[in-house]
Amino acid sequence: MHPIAFHLGPLTIHWYGIMVAVAFLVGLWTATRRAPRENVPAERIADIVLWLMAGGILGARIVYVTTYWKDEFANQPLSEIFMIQHGGLVYYGGLIGAMLAGFIYARWKKLPMWKVADVLAPSIALGNFFGRVGCFLNGCCYGHPTRLPWGVQFPNQSYAWFQQNQQGLPGVGPNTPSLPVHPTEIYDAVNNVLLYLLLAWLFRHKKFDGQVFATYLVGYAVTRTFMEYFRGDYPSDHIHYGLTPGMLISLPIFIAGLALGAILSQREPKRA
């Protein structure tokens, strides 16, 4: 785990922030290259990505702060709310915020909404790959302890170490690293690469507008639910009936994706 990339005078540059920036840049580049196939001007994609960035970061941070207010923010200076370079973005909050911002922009500029959504969907998955690498470097979103050979130990004073030390787990002490944990950040990073490849293929073979985006919602909801079984970073009071927050949000996202695909497949003319 290497959360700090470098220092620029008094400014500390964190890998998490760098990876979030790379995610948006790579997403923008791939989406603008895909846009001409749908007769969407590349400059419009560049514009909407700025809206997606603002809506995504705002939504992701709002959900994180409200979810972890008692644990991380109640006794901290108010300025800590804005310190996203330290980590603390909830992906589903970012997805919902970005969707709302994109919807507003598309309606405002009278863009073909579902064509634009299909252009962006593979890039969302690819961008999330870099976001998960940022999580790994930051040491957040880690998994349950494991004895599997690819288990990862985070250093002393890391998030995983603090949680395990508070739980009094054997083998965790003042001078030890954390116990080996599932590298769930890497699991999800690989998952997003596979989703990107699937969506990029589907984009070239889709039958109706909105199919790629709907497939992303369904695909990520299913795979994210599976990944959540290995997550170990949630406080116990955030787990209800054995379900993590990620699982609970995945269900309506899954249903929305199925409904969207069913509705749009009937509305749109079939492609040859």
Closest CA relative to residue 111, chosen from 52, 40, 50, 42:
40
Asked if residue 271 has pLDDT above 70, the reply is: no
Residue with the bigger pLDDT between 7 and 86: it is 7
Owner of token pair 């540059």: 13
Cα of 65 vs its chain's centroid, Å: 16
Residues 47-58 have pLDDT tens digits of 998 899 899 889
On the question of pLDDT at 220 being above 50, the answer is: yes
Q: pTM of the full predicted structure? A: 0.88
- Residues in CB range of 31: below 8 A, 6 or more apart: 45, 49, 119, 120, 122, 123
- Position 264 scores a pLDDT of 95
Side chain identity at 39, as an amino acid letter? N
Name the residue among 27, 16, 62, 65 with its Cα closest to residue 216: 27
208, 270 contact by CB (below 8 A): yes
Q: What is the DSSP letter of 37?
A: G
Higher pLDDT, 143 or 6: 143
How sure is the predictor about 248, in pLDDT bands with cuts at 50, 70 and 90?
very high
End-to-end CA distance of the chain: 49
As a residue count, the chain comes to: 272
| Average of per-residue pLDDT across 203-213 | 96
Q: Which of 258, 94, 127, 117 is nearest to 195 (CA)?
A: 127
Q: Cα separation of 25 and 7, whole Å?
A: 22
What pLDDT is recorded for position 272? 46
In three-state secondary structure terms, 143 is strand
Residue 76 confidence (pLDDT) above 80: no
The separation between CA 200 and the C-alpha centre of its own chain, rounded to angstroms, equals 18
The answer to whether 141 and 89 are in contact (CB under 8 A) is no
Burial track 43-62 (b if 16+ CB lie within 10 A, e otherwise): ebbeebbebbbebbbbbbbb
The secondary element (H helix, E strand) that includes residue 6 is strand 4-8
